[in-house]
Amino acid sequence: GTVVHVPWGPKDASQLHLDEEFHLNRPTIIGSQAWAGWGNPDRDYPLWDPERAYQAVLSLLSRGVISGQPIIDPLVDFEDAPMLFNTLFTNPAQAIKIGVSRQ
């Protein structure tokens, strides 16, 4: 399987023992630590740097190869935003990202 490290985990993971997990299941570990500001460049640096990654994403989006559509949901008109925010505050699991249009 895949283990994803996220930056908001528990403050003390000293009791987390992954020995058996690593030896038996050989998981893939991924994380979001590759940010130049932390002095921890991406594994593929210097082939990939933040500017190249940014330009690649813009190109993929502009050519329609990828879309943020499944992530940004719901998309509402500006006038409906207050009602949407009230709903999200009471049920935050309802959306990952929301979009507000000013059309």
Query: Domain coordinates of the chain in residue numbers?
Result: 1-66, 67-103
The answer for residues whose C-beta is within 8 angstroms of residue 49's C-beta and 6 or more apart is: 36, 41, 42
- Examine the pLDDT at 18 and tell me if it is beyond 80: no
pLDDT digits (tens, 9 = 90+) for 32-55: 665 656 666 777 778 888 789 889
- Examine the pLDDT at 57 and tell me if it is beyond 80: yes
pLDDT digits (tens, 9 = 90+) for 64-99: 998 877 778 888 899 988 888 888 888 887 777 788
pLDDT at 56: 93
pLDDT at 71: 78
pTM (2 d.p.): 0.44
Residues listed for the chain: 103
b or e along 22-31 (b: 16 or more beta carbons within 10 Å of the residue's beta carbon)? eeeeeeeeee
pLDDT at 102: 84
Average pLDDT over residues 15-39: 73
pLDDT at 10: 62
